[in-house]
Amino acid sequence: MLEILSLIRQDGDPRWCRSVPNWERGPWLETLLGYRRARGNARPRIISSHLPASRRARGNARPRIISSHLPVHLFPRAFFGSKAKV
């Protein structure tokens, strides 16, 4: 699923999917990086040189992709009141 969403996000261009690791493209919500990205305040550890400067400056370009294996009853309550797609 992460590969498909990554391709959609990049308009079908596979270069980004090949060059950026999975944990950077769609971090786990259960990790600190995933939590920060979900809140929108994470700084990427790796800045890919192939991204335009405007996207690098923004850090986490929207839409953000967040992965999780949490059961629904353990998700943060704020998730269900947001515009997130499941």
pLDDT band for position 52 (50/70/90)? very low
Mean pLDDT of 46-74: 61
Mean pLDDT of 71-76: 82
Tell me the helix, strand and coil percentages in the chain, rounded to 5.
45, 0, 55
Domain membership of residue 56 (yes or no) is yes
Please check whether residue 85 lies inside any domain of the structure: no
Domain count, the chain: 1
Query: Within a domain: residue 33?
Result: yes
Confirm whether pTM is higher than 0.85: no
* Of 62, 69, 77, 85, catalytic: 69
Residue 25 inside a domain? The answer is: yes
Q: Is 73 a known active-site residue?
A: no
Q: For residue 17, tell me if it sits in a domain.
A: yes
* Residue 36: inside a domain: yes
d(CA 49, CA 45): 13
pLDDT digits (tens, 9 = 90+) for 14-27: 998 899 888 888 88
State which residues form the domain around 36. 2-80
**Which of 38, 50, 43 minimizes the C-alpha distance to 13?**
50
Residue 18 lies in a domain: yes
Tracing tokens 């353990």 back to the chain, one arrives at: 74
Q: How confident is the model at residue 61 (pLDDT cuts 50, 70, 90)?
A: low
Q: Is the pLDDT of residue 44 over 70?
A: no
86 within a domain of the structure (yes/no):
no
